[in-house]
Amino acid sequence: MNNTRHDWTKEEILNIYNKPLMELLYEAATVHRKHHDPNTVQVSTLLSIKTGGCSEDCGYCPQAARYHTDIEKNDLMSVSHVKAQALRAKESGSSRVCMGAAWRNVKDGPEFDQVLEMVRTINKLDMEVCCTLGMLTENQAKRLAEAGLYAYNHNLDTSEDYYKDVISTRAFEDRLETIDNVRKSNVTVCSGGIIGMGEKLEDRAGMLVALSSLNPQPESVPINTLVAVEGTPMEDIEPVAIWDMVRMVATTRIVMPETQVRLSAGRTQMSREGQALCFFAGANSIFAGDKLLTTPNPDVNEDMEMFALLGLNSQKPFEKHDQPETVEASDSALQGLGEKPKWTRPGHTIERNEAAKAKSKIVQ
């Protein structure tokens, strides 16, 4: 039975966020175990296929052309280069390649055709493919779906109320429209946001209201902490405390029980203990590799060492991640007074993803 709610209020979410930490962690972990294997984490590799020169003014982003940052700009990568990077990611344990281009919106033409070929190429490696290319039309979303795209990332970034303090070149409604266009295709949605940009707790709750009210809710929700980059308007903002991240992950898990909660930007500022708390609270997806587009990220070998230490396994491509067929977890088990919960992993993807995978085989 699907108990997912789409009518959370900001007040309800704030009450969850502000619970005593141990109570919040217990509730989030209980929800997590009900819907997910707590020892499996999906690993993605994020690849910047076109870096810098963006016309937007996102206050956190070093790729905006108007800011003076030290990022190394590059034109659109070749398909062969992307394939080589995808093979390297697959060998290191990633099940998904996410390709990001610093565009305000996708424009039909040779470059978009090249991205479509990248999607087809990575599909042939039996990997999930995600793109984040800016705003999309309905037709462009359908073309990406036909190429075999598995997911499209388009973050809301923050609450609708605080959005105008972060970005002026694109409206909050524009982001919702792109997500709606993706939903009209056979592509899953990845959408989340950033904490630590000077927002209030009410804005964090407001972002979760916007995400959770989407029907269906995003299959993946990245929770990022701001990585302050010199040359951007937010360069002097101090990093948020790990407890803010733990609370945000836990609250996201409770409000969106079936989505994959991605522990994203800012992990270099977190200890292994802090990351472990986030996994316990419901995070079950990370980006691997030493760079997230332009900002630093833990080395993949460090992540694999952490996985081994915590007893975590990497999720396989197209593997179903929610609603295990068998979950036996009594109250005593959850409190550590009985046997551990027994898990039966179905080993199959959800119906929509199975269809997408089959379709990608046909495209090949």
Catalytic annotation, residues: 54, 58, 61, 98, 130, 190, 262
DSSP 8-state code for residue 269: G
Residue 131 assigned ligand-binding role: no
For residue 282, give the nearest of 33, 3, 23 by alpha carbon.
33
Judged by DSSP in three states, 49 sits in strand
Concatenated DSSP letters of 30-46? HHHHHHS-TTEEEEEEE
Residue 190, annotated ligand binder?
Answer: yes
With contact defined as beta carbons under 8 Å apart, do 148 and 186 qualify? Answer: no
d(CA 86, CA 34): 33
What is the separation of C-alpha 298 from the centre of its chain, rounded to a whole number of angstroms?
Answer: 16
The DSSP result for 275-337, as a single string, is HHHHHHTTEEEEEESSEETTEE---HHHHHHHHHHHT-EEPPTT---SS-SEEE--HHHHTTS
Question: According to the annotation, is 58 in a ligand binding site?
Answer: yes
Strand, helix or coil at 181?
helix
Question: Tokens 């141990």 correspond to what residue?
Answer: 22
Cα(185)–Cα(139) distance, integer angstroms = 9
Extract the annotated binding site for [4Fe-4S] cluster: 54, 58, 61
Extract the annotated binding site for [2Fe-2S] cluster: 98, 130, 190, 262
Extract the annotated binding site: 54, 58, 61, 98, 130, 190, 262
